Amino acid sequence: MGSLSHSEEQIKKNMDRMYRWTRHIYDASRKYYLLGRDVLIDRLSPEAGETVCEVGCGTARNLIRMKQKYPQARFYGLDASDEMLKTAQGNLSRSGLCCSVMLKQGFSQTFEPQSLFGLERPLDKIVFSYALSIIPPWQESINHALDLLCPGGEIHIVDFGGQEELPVFFRKFLFWWLRLFHVYHKPEILEYLKRLEHEKKGALRTEPLFRGYAYRAVFIKSP
């Protein structure tokens, strides 16, 4: 990987600072509010030999479950934080999957699977699990993901919804609490995906989860 831009270097520093200590308790604390991750995994359904990359893979919690559920697919993980990748690599080792899932440090808006992972063809599926709500250049990340996919490839997203069917006090508290960790509900993500569909870049499927607490979206790249 080449030298980092100033903005990427700052993102990496921020992520490493944020996760240097919290990575040790990340999975234990996040399981209570990162809802819908297993729904995404259950409906991912990659075929044998297909390549799947999770962007913002964190502790590799999702990748481990994906590989266990779909052993014939090929999985890769990308994260901006070297600190988080230390935990991810340890989790893969304890799961006996350290040789089955490849992890690399990189950035959602610029990573190149061919050079990072040694791939010879475009990716089949890219996963963003509660990642776009914390990635500042989320639009560039979606565009880059589309460029990296093969025709008919899929972007799978699960993230915070608008809490439409939940009490107002709960919605206000949740959004306030998430902001403390630099996480934001971004309704503009779905709006942008709808615009891409309107521009014939692909087809969008969306599904609200848990009364609007979260949503799942699949964007299928045009052939």
Give how many domains the chain has, as a whole number: 1
Is the pTM of the predicted complex or chain greater than 0.75? yes
Asked if residue 100 has pLDDT above 50, the reply is yes
**pLDDT tens for each residue of 184-222:** 788 999 999 999 999 999 999 999 998 889 999 999 999
Residue 12 in any domain: the answer is: yes
Domain-located, residue 84? yes
Structural domain boundaries, residue 131: 6-221
DSSP state of 165: T
Name the residue among 82, 87, 88 with its Cα closest to residue 67: 88
Mean pLDDT of 55-68: 96
pLDDT tens for 131-148 read: 999 888 999 999 999 999
Query: What percentage of the chain carries pLDDT values higher than 90?
Result: 66
| Per-residue buried b or exposed e for 104-132, using 16+ beta carbons within 10 Å of the residue's own CB | bbbbbbebebeebbebeeebbbbbbbbbb
**Distance separating alpha carbons of residues 60 and 79, to the nearest angstrom:** 10
pLDDT at residue number 13: 62
Distance CA(175)–CA(168), nearest Å, equals 11
214 assigned to some structural domain? yes
Residue whose tokens read 């610029």: 110
CATH at residue 41: 3.40.50.150
Domain-located, residue 1? no
List 159's β-bridge partners, or say none: 215
Burial of residue 98 (number of CB atoms within 10 Å: 0-12, 13-18, 19+): middle
Higher pLDDT, 117 or 21: 117
Tokens of 132: 């776009």
Give the span between the Cα atoms of 194 and 179, in whole angstroms.
26
The answer as to whether 124 is a domain residue is yes
Angle between helices 82-94 and 61-69 (to 10 degrees): 40
Residue 5 has pLDDT above 60, yes or no: no
Residue 123 has pLDDT above 80, yes or no: yes
| 14-19 long-range contacts, CB within 8 A, separation 24+ | 15/79, 15/80, 15/81, 15/83, 15/84, 16/81, 16/82, 16/83, 18/81, 18/181, 18/182, 19/81, 19/83, 19/84, 19/87
Q: Are strands 123-129 and 149-160 parallel, antiparallel or unpaired?
A: parallel
DSSP character for 121?
A: S
Among candidate residues 42, 33, 90, 48, the one with its CA nearest the CA of residue 62: 42
Average pLDDT, the chain: 87
